[in-house]
Amino acid sequence: MIDVAELGKFVDDAAMSATAIPQITEKHPDMFVHDAYRIQKASIDRRLARGEKLIGVKMGLTSRAKMVQVGVDEVIWGRLTDRMLLEEGATLSRGSYVHPRAEPEIAFLIGKPLSGLVTAMEAMAAVEAVAPAIEIIDSRYQNFKFTLPDVVADNSSSSGVIVGDWFPRETRIDNLGIVLSENGMPVQIGSTAAILGNPVRSLVAAAKLVARDGLVLEPGMIVLAGGATAAHPLSVGATVDATFQTLGKVSITVAE
């Protein structure tokens, strides 16, 4: 039997103390993805009860590069809270994470309520603005190893979000070159087209998946479309920049 509340506390405690934990499926090999989403919600409800605010959702494993990197080939989602927001150019503390990685992403700012089965045009009509972004992911599992239900229970590794300048909804985001650099050296090169062919498809998927949990993407919420390249590990002393064709740069520096 899966104890949703207890496992929600297990992943929440791991995130709060930056402690690596064994995969839940070691003890519960028969855990369903459906149970994992209930654990995710239980862990985030604990954060909300402590005063954090839900600010949006992140999509994950929406590019081939990401699926290959973690060995899970299904699109997943997680919840973002205000505590995960970092300022553009901020310095993060390596010690607050287990094994953080950076991913170049596209962020959508929701302008009108969005949920359920929608077309790409309907999804874009609900968007207020788009921006370049970096997501900091930090699986709480030992060695960054997990199965599909494990990663879903661990809020799809959500850990930090840095959003760059916002651009109007009409701005092209379908095939923009991206260079992810560490201390000026390119470490990942890609295109926003790697995100399901076009990041808007990730927003369509977000609307569909959150609806299953009775959630609506509300005005003011952020949706992260998923990493366009493999994620890059963050080490102390690194300044990581994601530069997007026409959208500019987002950066983060890592201290002890």
Give contact residues for Mg ion (rule: CB under 5 A): 103, 135, 227
* Minimum separation from the CB atom of position 62 to Mg ion (A): 8
Q: Of residues 23, 40, 81, 139, which one binds ligand OOG by CB under 6 A? A: 139
> What is the amino acid identity at position 248?
G
Q: Does 66 bind ligand OOG (CB under 6 A)?
A: yes
The residue behind tokens 């599992």 is: 141
Does residue 21 sit in helix, strand or coil?
Answer: strand
- The answer to whether 56 contacts ligand OOG (rule: CB under 6 A) is no
Does 226 sit near ligand OOG (CB under 6 A)?
Answer: yes
In terms of Cβ atoms closer than 10 Å to its own Cβ (0-12, 13-18, 19+), residue 248 is middle
61 binds, among ligand OOG, Mg ion, none (CB under 5 to 8 A by kind): ligand OOG
Question: Which of 7, 92, 126, 151: binder of ligand OOG (CB under 6 A)?
Answer: 151
Q: Hey, which residues between 154 and 173 contact ligand OOG (CB under 6 A)? A: 156-157
Among 21, 61, 173, 242, contact with ligand OOG (rule: CB under 6 A): 61
For residue 161, what are its two tokens?
Answer: 């979000």
Cα 201 off chain centre by: 15
Give whichever of 81 and 157 is closer to ligand OOG, judged by the CB atom. Answer: 157
Residue 124, Cβ neighbours under 10 Å: how many? 18
What b/e string do you get for 82-102 counting C-beta neighbours within 10 Å, with b at 16 or more? eebbbebeeebebeebbbbbb
User: Least CB distance from residue 137 to Mg ion, whole Å?
Assistant: 5
Does 188 bind ligand OOG (CB under 6 A)? Our answer is no
One-letter amino acid at 158 equals S
SS3 state of residue 195: coil
Helices and strands of the chain, counted as H and E runs: 7, 14
| Minimum distance from residue 155 beta carbon to ligand OOG (Å) | 9
Specify the residue for token string 């590019």: 63
CB of 128 to Mg ion, least distance (A): 21
Contacts with ligand OOG, residue ranges (CB under 6 A): 58, 60-62, 66, 70, 103, 135, 137, 139, 151, 156-157, 226-227
